[in-house]
Amino acid sequence: MFAAAPWYDSGAWTAVGGITALIAVPVSIVSVSISYLIYTSRRTLTYSMPVAYPLLPAWPGMSSGLRVFHNGRALKDPHVYKIYLAVHGRKDIPSSAFDQGKPIYLDIGVPIATLLEVTHDPATTPIPKAQARNRCIEVSPGLIRKHQTMSFMVLADGPDARLSCKSSLVDVGVRRQQEYDNRRGIYQRVLMWTIVILVAVWILSDPSAAGKTVHQWVNGLTSFINSL
């Protein structure tokens, strides 16, 4: 008498497992890809202040007698800061997104003496207007193009600037640049490892079918490269 083979050893179950893996791989990859695309396509305004340096020498005895004046007023501890404001996503930020016409406030926490330079990349019109007021740079309501980066160089009186951003923008996320980059990096790593793990499961579940498919992919890619 022969013992019946376990249910998990049956050819039918192997076929079902192969089909399930074949379906699960693309579905999971597409799901993670859509999540990543939704995150990166949403309109997001990021801000950062990577540049900060003092104007007076820090060596002992070197700063005595040196002063920096602005409009006749001596600055106690003058520093230059460079601030970036960038738009991410697939759509512009229209002027109508500024609720009640309120500007974007970039607060550095120390008094700003003057706004030295404003640059836009790309320098397409219209260009949002900006001005320095007390501790803030105020970006007036107006059209801000997608993928546009604005930089502001300021002369301020104080060494311990800390940048924060306040806005009344509707349907626009506002984040620190580092936070935005970190989260995007997490999505990228999750997508990469999802693809690697699911493809490995697919190959292990049905090596012959996976091998044929990979072989077809390689042949197709080779033909495409040769046709260039």
Q: Give the Cα separation of 79 and 20 in Å (integer).
A: 62
The fraction of the chain above a pLDDT of 90, given in percent, is: 37
Task: State the DSSP string of 45-78.
Answer: EEEEEEEEEESS--STTTSTT--EEETTEEESSE
The fraction of the chain above a pLDDT of 70, given in percent, is: 65
The string of pLDDT tens digits covering residues 128-151 is 899 999 999 999 999 999 889 999
The string of pLDDT tens digits covering residues 37-72 is 655 568 899 999 998 888 876 655 555 567 788 788
Q: Tell me which amino acid residue 45 is.
A: L
Which residues, in sequence order, are CB contacts of 136 under 8 Å at separation 6+?
A: 105, 106, 107, 108, 112
Q: Where are the domains of the chain?
A: 44-176
Of 29-38, 122-131, 134-143, 207-216, give the range with the top mean pLDDT. 134-143
Contact (CB, 8 A) for 25 and 201: yes
CATH topology of domain 44-176: Immunoglobulin-like (2.60.40)
Counting Cβ atoms within 10 Å, is residue 202 exposed (0-12), middle (13-18) or buried (19+)? Answer: buried
Q: Give the Cα separation of 203 and 180 in Å (integer).
A: 35
CA 58 to chain centroid, in Å, comes to 35
